[in-house]
Amino acid sequence: MGKGVFHGDVIRFIGIYVVGGIAFLPDVEPPITEEEEFEPYLPELEESAPPTDGPDLLWGRFLDDKIDGRGGDDQSNGYDGDDTLNGSDGNDTVIGGNGDDIVTVGHDNDLLQGLTGNDELHGADGNDHLAGGLGHDSLDGGARSDALIGGQGGHVLAGGMVQMHCMWMMAKIFCQAEQVMTP
């Protein structure tokens, strides 16, 4: 096997296919369909601007992302991968996406959402809204009055005033809530 020859099951990677152990690129002229040496071409990605202390739109992609919103009212989404997202200061909306994500925010009123995966959502001193989604999530609202919504799966809820919403799961209702008053 020479340089650049792929072998394996079925893999798709930005226009490169491996089917039955032979790599081929259908979008090149002429199409590469045999075991040939080739240099796969990957287009350069546009580099995103770094976060500022003002409002930002920050988006992850398919890999494990680390996103720090800094100050300002930011909107962040990790999409796929096991992401680490930090909303920092400002009234932020931070969505973990698909994967086992860790979401942390600053001291303002923030919205944190885990979606799928086993997520950790950490609020702070603001009146935060945390929603776990699918998977076994850990939600910690921090101080103040927070809304903690577990979703489907097993969840650990802590912090502030806990508000638990009940869900039907397989014809049974599972609810548990504790009122914790903090000064």
Residues 130 and 169 in one domain: yes
Q: Which residues of the chain have pLDDT under 70?
A: 1-51, 153-157, 159-183
Cβ distance 8 to 35 under 8 Å? no
Task: Answer yes or no: do 126 and 158 share one domain.
Answer: yes
Residue 48 lies in a domain: no
- The reply to whether 47 falls in a domain is no
Q: Identify the CA nearest to 111 among candidates 94, 98, 135.
A: 94
**Model-level pTM?**
0.60
Residue 183 counted as domain residue: no
- Residue 31 buriedness (CB in 10 A; 0-12 / 13-18 / 19+): exposed
33/84 same-domain check: no
- For the segment 71-93, what is each residue's pLDDT rounded down to a tens digit? 888 888 888 889 999 888 889 99
Query: Do 10 and 86 have their domain in common?
Result: no
